[in-house]
Amino acid sequence: MFKPESSSSPMWVRSMYFALDEHTGQAEQLFRLCDVAFSPDDKNQARLPIERITELWHKIVAQTGNDAFGFIVGTDFVHHAMDVFTLAAASSPSLLDAVQRLTQFYQTVSTGLILETSTDDGIGFHFSLPKNAPGICIYAVDASFATIVELTRKVASDYSNPITVSMQRPVPKNEQAFHDFFGCKVAFGQKSNSVIYDGAKARQPSLGHNPALASHLFSYLDESLKEVVDSTLAQQVYVVIDGLFEKADITMGSVASVLAVSERTLQRKLSSENASFNHIHKQFKLDKAIKWLKAGSLSQGEISHRLGFSTQSNFVRFFKTETGFTPNVFVNP
């Protein structure tokens, strides 16, 4: 049975190492203390489980005494991914288009947080946790905020600072560093994680854009996905399905769009892992059903409806096929 495990991209692990090494010179010792194998010369760094990366974040903040260290890591992340930012800026006809392409890159390399954009009231970036997230560290969220601000500064000098920033995290000890980094006052303890930019110039055409570079950008994204997923694409698909659940129709096309690959590429890559989209989607539904049945807060009819079954009998048939038990027997053996 496929089981998801949230993990951190190797690109984040490398950025944490180099940022820490630059500021303290003790990255190697700290990584060893957390039992994280890392070699600066090895580009095939393994992904780390979220629990391990969270332990590493806490030790980094404790050692540096800087609870705004996430901004340093996020800035380093952008620095080491300049190729994709340059391509996005040069190939995009407007800032809005660049934002959408850069969002695809972020979604490709990150499974810990879901990034969505909006254009209703300016250009908005919104971070949320997958429903099955074990608890993403607040410092990792800070680093993700930093990537958004830095990438926006790279693609459009007119958008050097956002107009509003809302964060769910509590007020940090190094509060002034947050206001200074964003260039605006930050609201803490909010219901959502959001960065909003003035949208007045978002759709203005870019005079120097080169449409031909767009194909190179998406080739780069495809190669990035191949590098960072490292046999965990099935896990990433599961996380994307979880993020889309109750928000949009879950199809191979919608998941492929979030991952910035074609349906054919997604199917081929999953097949190389002996996985399939239908199997992962089925496992997701089963996990949800088991969770809700154990909780006892929803009826079988409600569970059936939420999971998209046309009838309750279809749900019961699905559940028995997958587990060998009917929902009633599963709940009351």
- Which residue bears the tokens 């965990």? 232
Half-sphere CA count of 197, side-chain side, radius 13 A: 26
Exposed, middle or buried: residue 234 (CB in 10 Å: 0-12, 13-18, 19+)?
buried
Helix (H) or strand (E) holding 2: none
Would the pLDDT of 218 be above 50? no
List Cα–Cα distances, 267 to 4, 221, 261, 272, in angstroms.
18, 16, 10, 9
Using DSSP's 3-state secondary structure scheme, residue 123 falls into strand
Regarding beta strands 193-197 and 164-166, do their DSSP bridges make them parallel or antiparallel, or are they unpaired? antiparallel
233-276 residue pLDDT tens: 787 788 788 878 877 788 999 888 888 788 998 998 888 877 89
pLDDT tier, 228 (very low <50, low <70, confident <90, very high otherwise):
very low
- Which residue bears the tokens 């590098």? 227
Rounded-to-integer distance, Cα 77 and Cα 283, Å: 33
For domain 279-331, the CATH class is mainly alpha
pLDDT tier, 88 (very low <50, low <70, confident <90, very high otherwise):
low
Structure tokens at 64: 């540096």
pLDDT tier, 32 (very low <50, low <70, confident <90, very high otherwise):
confident
Helix axes 82-91 and 213-229, enclosed angle (nearest 10): 150
- Smallest CA-to-CA distance from 107 within 245, 231, 240 is with 240
- Contact present, 151 and 85 (Cβ < 8 Å): yes
Sequential DSSP letters for 224-274: HHHHHHSS-HHHHHHHHHHHHTTTS---HHHHHHHHTS-HHHHHHHHHHTT
Helix axes 50-64 and 10-24, enclosed angle (nearest 10): 10
122-139 residue pLDDT tens: 778 888 766 555 556 888
Q: What is the mean pLDDT of the chain?
A: 77
The model carries a pTM of 0.59
Question: Which pLDDT does position 331 carry in this prediction?
Answer: 81
147-192 residue pLDDT tens: 878 877 766 655 568 889 999 999 999 999 999 999 999 999 998 8
- The domain segmentation of the chain, as residue ranges, is 279-331
Question: Which pLDDT does position 170 carry in this prediction?
Answer: 93
Using DSSP's 3-state secondary structure scheme, residue 324 falls into coil
H helix intervals, the chain: 10-24, 27-33, 50-64, 69-79, 82-91, 95-109, 138-155, 175-182, 213-229, 233-244, 252-259, 263-272, 277-295, 300-306, 312-323, 327-331
